Amino acid sequence: MIDGLSSRALSEIRRLEHSRNYLRPGDVDAALCLWQDYVHRPERELWHDYEWGNVHWYCCGNPLEARALLDMVMRALSPRSARELRKVIGRYDAVWSRSSPPYPPGSDCKW
């Protein structure tokens, strides 16, 4: 269950998961959970993933690929359902796009 989606949008997502060869039942929910967990990680962990990659992505899923899958699903949905899903995903994208706060003057950071 994806919070924030109508039963109509959920039904359409389930139909897509059963009719498309690139989706399995539950893939959209799993991709959304993976993206949500990723964007809420501390920035230092995100930087580490950017620099060296993450070996757990091979077994547990790549959150960047999950986000790309969500884009494909939004394009396959009706405009109304896509708008609902885009609103839910937009909350997590806003966290992802948020810049880190600047270091206060006089902090211990000496760069």
What confidence score (pLDDT) does residue 80 get? 96
What confidence score (pLDDT) does residue 43 get? 66
Query: What residue numbers bound the domain in which 21 lies?
Result: 7-96
The list of the chain residues with pLDDT below 50 reads 102-104, 106-111
Helical residues (DSSP H) of 20-109, grouped into ranges? 27-39, 43-52, 57-60, 63-76, 79-97
The model carries a pTM of: 0.76
Identify whether 80 is part of a domain. Answer: yes
pLDDT, tens only, 30-39: 999 989 988 8
Radius of gyration of the chain from its Cα atoms, rounded to whole angstroms: 17
What confidence score (pLDDT) does residue 59 get? 66
Identify whether 109 is part of a domain. Answer: no
Q: Which two tokens stand for residue 94?
A: 């806003």
Q: What's the domain count of the chain?
A: 1
Identify whether 111 is part of a domain. Answer: no
Identify whether 1 is part of a domain. Answer: no
Identify whether 103 is part of a domain. Answer: no
State whether residue 12 is helix, strand or coil: helix
Identify whether 58 is part of a domain. Answer: yes
Identify whether 105 is part of a domain. Answer: no
Contact 70, 92 (CB under 8 A): no
